[in-house]
Amino acid sequence: MSSAHPLRGYVVVELGHSVAAPYTGLILAEMGAEVIKVENPDGGDAARGWGPPFVNGAGPHFSAFNRNKASLAVNLADEGQRDALVSLILARADAVVCNLRAGAAAKLGVDAARLRALKPALVYCDLGAFGSGGPLSHKPGYDPLMQAYCGVMSVTGESAERPPVRVGVSMVDMGAGMWSAIGILAALLERKDTGVGGHVETSLFETALAWVATPMARHAMGGGPQKPQGSGAAGIVPYQAFRTRSGWLVIGAGNDRLYGQLCRVMGRPDLAEDPRYLRNGDRVVNQATLLPVIEAYAAQYDSDTLSAILDEAGIPNAPVQTIAQLARDEHARRLGMIQEKDGHETVGLPIRFDGLRPPLRTTSPALGEANERLLGDNHDARCG
């Protein structure tokens, strides 16, 4: 591989907004595809206004997920503008990712059936809310709704008695974006052999359901409901954050060998031989008596000192960092994950090709900045 852009030469049209479809486009753009982001001329992607803070008129969500793209301002309800977009897709696009409200793409004539009939080589990805074919398929959906409906909130937080807690990042939206990108790449790979594109489907609902595979397996195995574990993990002990003199440190003694090491470090080798804690399953059942011992040990040290002790013994651990601390983190910067261009700092794609991470080429685009370049003198399809 000669560069970190294995998708160079491919063209992707992004018909979506907010997080899910833009994250799909971001992944493909980072890997070198030309991604054309279609926005409503009246204000553009709603995520532009999700703030403060704002830089160049865009909030953090838009800035994070729309770098390395071109913005095309097109009113899909306008026949002339829509036809110009369809002509562009037929002439240049290898793939389309669509995250419009259920049924909207078909009403507007930019759905998979129509576009693939006109261009069989096109890969079209439908990224829906509740997916197609079920009684809820008509409903709109957003990340917190799916975290609620699919049980993510039921296993997140401190206890079942506390109010529901949403995971603090858009994990369902971004996960659906990842599945869309994976599906598009698989279809493009098959197209090399067949010359025919395909219709890829995924949704926020299906993604959220996939993320709760372990609690679902617990239920199917008769293990009862999974309760919120705070910083811990159901079925593994000790595997959580412990308070130190200076903050919190997560200790991940996730198997019997590591647990034995932890007992020796604590000066309590007897706990490694205690029948109540001999195997992980025993520790889970009897955690109420074991965890206070580890808590008391951790409370004697500051986080850095305890981390060094555990590192020496080969016991996985990590401090609970703030985002501000992570932004200054030397490891993240040495790996090239924190990228900067023209005073703009962002998080890079978490993948490297032959040692090269895709670079930050351009920051998030101004609304409609590519209209003249991509649509030329077709005035019906120009912004404003």
Q: Facing residues of 37 across strands? A: 14, 71
Residue 2 has pLDDT above 80, yes or no: no
Within 13 A of 184's CA, how many CA atoms are on the CB side?
31
CA distance 54 to 43: 15
Classify residue 222 as left (phi > 0), alpha (psi -120 to 50) or beta. Answer: left
Residue 381 has pLDDT above 70, yes or no: no
The values of phi and psi at residue 321, to 5°, are -95, 150
3-state secondary structure of 326: helix
Domains assigned to the chain: 11-211+334-381 (3.40.50.10540), 239-319 (3.30.1540.10)
CA distance 289 to 286: 6
CA distance 128 to 121: 22
- The pLDDT tens digits of the residues spanning 3-34 come to 789 999 999 999 999 999 999 999 999 999 99
Higher pLDDT, 358 or 159: 358
- The pLDDT tens digits of the residues spanning 242-301 come to 999 999 999 999 999 999 999 999 999 999 999 999 999 999 999 999 999 999 999 999
Q: 24, 23, 30, 22: which is closest to 3 by C-alpha?
A: 30
